[in-house]
Structure 1
């Protein structure tokens, strides 16, 4: 994504591999969302994926719009390099653009289709960002915005150790960490996250809202296990100081690659969650 400034300490070469794996696991959401999006705008001359990361969604956009100029936009050069490499592997035509948001919105050029997935919450003034996006849409253009949904679940309620309901409590800790992250963003503006209303205030027409499921039942493959491990590791870092000692110990055991009860080994790990897509149209 482009709103990386509060993640400047990360090694994007290393993080890029994890992000690509994560995007591949939740790809069913992207696939379904793009089918819906294409039904509203089957032809496009120019397509932007803003906050593209390693290019999983951007490459799919390039596949379904082979005659369009598809541009992956991100603020991390290492992620754009991964996007180009992925496009080469898949044989699709993809351009990349290095940009920092929100400063560079005005430099991106106009587009018929814009995809922005889980990026706006990294920007302090989300309404101002939506207004910028509205300005990038060509008449008749469509913006697809992915934000929110349902928390992902990986484990049964009772995992055989620790206090029952661990992942629900981890959700609370992560939510508090997210609120703290938002509070520290530059130029943060508090707003009720009614995305349909925000779209309308930005001068676009709210054209629909749909949620799409990610469902990988147990037993899962090794790549999906790696996704679960990396997500729980990140959530633990995000909410570590908000967990009780017992829950911190539970998380440590779940992340231990040598423990048979850890997520890399136990047979009952799954992935179940949903992401919500808001569609906006330019009059």
Structure 2
């Protein structure tokens, strides 16, 4: 479900390319898990809102772009009578999710489907709920993807689209590594890169949902900010994201800015894993839309 260039699951959490830095191939999965850990209260509030809109009787949930399964497991907890079909284009992510489900004693409630989010949901026609978290902005053709979701939902079924505004921000407002405005400039350059590669990031999904024949029932935008004291994992999260950002922006920003980013990642005294002044900021959006009950299959 996310970055288009690296695996679909770096979520906002970077949406960048892999590079040969200290973070290895497991970085996308680590980013997903750390994001879910740090923003756990938000995920709980969103799934509660989704459960309220979905009502009783939810027995089949689809997690579209499931990644490591953070959404899958939150939904299994929220809907204790449901099974979840976890959909992802990465067999590695699905294997990881399956292993986690077994370890949690939930293996009998999870099945997996290897499929691209934009290519429909083959074999699924009875979903009570489709959960698409940071996945739809990666599709090439939103109309085709939403048509597939529409077909997968039962009449009266609910689609929850959860998106975010790009990479989280971490650095304090004052100058960092001797470069005032460092993160803002990097964010601007990254936004330009993402606009080239993921033109649907930041899209108005409400309009697209209506065009797909769904009825939008709720739309919410929530700016989130986590301030010190923060969990120890915050520095690791910031390091993973900013390392991937540095790789993506190589040659696209002032070399002095790239070098300043390096001082935040090199294990020295300014490394983000050592800082106690990080502030995690991210904007999350949610749309809840329903397939009309009287729509023919």
Cα–Cα, structure 1 residues 151 and 12, in superposed 2: closer, same or farther, change >3 Å? Answer: closer
Deviations 1:17-70 (A, max 9, x none): 343223332333321111111111132121000100000110111111121121
Cα distance in 2, alignment partners of residues 151 and 191 from structure 1: 11
Q: CA deviation at 1:86?
A: 2.5
Aligned to 2:128: 112
Cα distance in 2, alignment partners of residues 147 and 269 from structure 1: 23
1:27 aligns with 2:43: no
1:143 aligns with 2:156: no
- Secondary structure of the residue that 1:97 maps to in structure 2? strand
Aligned to 2:99: 85
Q: What is the aligned counterpart of 1:269 among 267, 271, 278? A: 278
Q: CA deviation at 1:192?
A: 9.1
Q: What is the aligned counterpart of 1:248 among 258, 266, 274? A: 258
Cα distance in 2, alignment partners of residues 65 and 57 from structure 1: 12
Please report the TM-score for the alignment, with normalisation by the length of structure 1.
Answer: 0.87
Cα distance in 2, alignment partners of residues 86 and 263 from structure 1: 29
**Counterparts in 2 of 1:56-67, with a 5 A limit?**
56-67=70-81
Cα distance in 1, alignment partners of residues 85 and 72 from structure 2: 7
Cα–Cα, structure 1 residues 238 and 110, in superposed 2: closer, same or farther, change >3 Å? Answer: farther
Q: What is the aligned counterpart of 1:74 among 71, 75, 88? A: 88
Cα–Cα, structure 1 residues 12 and 79, in superposed 2: closer, same or farther, change >3 Å? Answer: farther
1:281 aligns with 2:290: yes
Deviations 1:97-155 (A, max 9, x none): 22234234333443010100111111111122112212211111110001234763211
Q: CA deviation at 1:272?
A: 2.2
Q: Of Structure 1 and Structure 2, which has the larger fraction of its residues in helix? A: 1
1:38 aligns with 2:51: yes
Cα–Cα, structure 1 residues 191 and 100, in superposed 2: closer, same or farther, change >3 Å? Answer: closer
Aligned to 2:14: none
**Counterparts in 2 of 1:213-224, with a 5 A limit?**
213-224=223-234
Check the 8 A contact 2:194/2:201 in 1, yes or no: no
- Secondary structure of the residue that 1:105 maps to in structure 2? coil
Cα distance in 2, alignment partners of residues 71 and 41 from structure 1: 17
Root mean square deviation, CA, Å: 2.6
Cα distance in 2, alignment partners of residues 249 and 157 from structure 1: 19
Cα–Cα, structure 1 residues 4 and 32, in superposed 2: closer, same or farther, change >3 Å? Answer: same
- What count of residue pairs does the alignment treat as equivalent? 276
- Secondary structure of the residue that 1:241 maps to in structure 2? coil
Q: CA deviation at 1:232?
A: 1.0
Please report the TM-score for the alignment, with normalisation by the length of structure 2.
Answer: 0.83
Cα distance in 1, alignment partners of residues 279 and 6 from structure 2: 31
Cα–Cα, structure 1 residues 73 and 198, in superposed 2: closer, same or farther, change >3 Å? Answer: same
Check the 8 A contact 1:176/1:239 in 2, yes or no: no
Q: CA deviation at 1:208?
A: 1.1
1:99 aligns with 2:115: yes
- Secondary structure of the residue that 1:106 maps to in structure 2? coil
Aligned to 2:189: 173
Q: CA deviation at 1:276?
A: 0.4
Aligned to 1:186: none
Deviations 1:161-208 (A, max 9, x none): 33211111111111011122237xxxxxx8992211111110000111
- Secondary structure of the residue that 1:107 maps to in structure 2? coil
